[in-house]
Structure 1
Amino acid sequence: MSDGTMHHLLRAAAVALCVGFATAAAAEGCGDDATQADLNECAAKAYEAADDARDAKYQAILARLASDSDAAALLRAAEEAWVAYRDAECTFATSAVSGGSIYPLVWAECLTGLTKARTETLDAYLSCEEGDTACPVPPQ
């Protein structure tokens, strides 16, 4: 298989994945008769809710680290790096539909997926048990 053929197959797979995101957004409360603009708006709202949940976990960790400014600074740096990663990853992952009417939906779906995964990581930090030396966040 030539490099060009492989490139086209990968691009087709990315577009198929993006269409799958559109279906997922429609299933999350937009309804079967939603327009593309409606789907874009639903996806944006889903991302906003996911980001609010992530921020709540982040703020809870910062509160637990209030007496450890070094650890709090490390968390802030990690979160800043994670945001840069999230944006770069979604820029790449959505590049196949860049400029299209589906782009805002696919972009928001990408942000939502990565944000939910980050929220799970932050939640795990909040769930550490006493004596867990691998956990950077003290238990409550």
Structure 2
Amino acid sequence: MKAAAPALGLALCCTAFASAQQQPEPDCRKAVTQTDLNICADKDHRMADAELNTTYRLAVAAMQATDKELGEIDAAYVGALEALKKAQRAWIGYRDGQCELAGFEARGGSMEPMLVSGCLAELTRKRTDELRKIVESAEN
């Protein structure tokens, strides 16, 4: 009987996982349930994060080019790329702390993940705009 218990647990686990995998993605334009709202907020954050990562790579390339140009003038002027990286690391810490704080509005409740994901998406879009401006400024 003891040997059957782990096998039964594994079967239940896999059945639940398969069931969850078969659930269709919610239509985020019509999301009503808290579960769907949480899923949609997470999806929004993941999309914003993907855009941020693309824009950050462009900013890195722009700062590398800036460093190259400035280095031709004087090696002491180089540092744009390191400043970008330092700013990005600091921003990540701010974002994570700020969004954790936003979750306290519904701490432990079913709405907390939506609040955190919504905060992450909003701050990520703002940072993406900041990075875009850096890229545009470097191109001009």
Same structural fold, with TM-score higher than 0.5 when normalized by the shorter chain: yes
The residue aligned with 2:71 is none
What is the letter of the counterpart of residue 139 of structure 2?
A: P
Asked which structure has the greater CA Rg, the reply is 2
Normalising by structure 1, we get a TM-score of 0.67
State the identity %.
34
Moved more, 110-119 or 69-78: 69-78
Deviation (angstroms), 1:54 = 1.0
What SS does structure 1 have at the residue aligned with 2:79? helix
Normalising by structure 2, we get a TM-score of 0.67
The residue aligned with 1:139 is 139
The residue aligned with 1:70 is 79
| 2:129 equivalent among 111, 114, 120 | 120
What SS does structure 2 have at the residue aligned with 1:39? helix
Task: Report the aligned-residue RMSD.
Answer: 1.7
Deviation (angstroms), 1:93 = 2.0
* Residue pair 2:63, 2:84 contacting (<8 A) in 1 also: no
Deviation (angstroms), 1:33 = 5.4
Runs of at least 4 residues of structure 1 off by over 6 A? none
CA deviation profile, 1:73-118 (whole Å, cap 9, x unmatched): 1111100100100111112222121111011111100111111111
The residue aligned with 2:70 is none
| 2:49 equivalent among 48, 51, 58 | 51
Whole-angstrom CA distance in 1 between matches of 2:30 and 2:43 = 17
What is the letter of the counterpart of residue 50 of structure 1?
A: A
Paired residue total: 103
Whole-angstrom CA distance in 2 between matches of 1:75 and 1:31 = 36
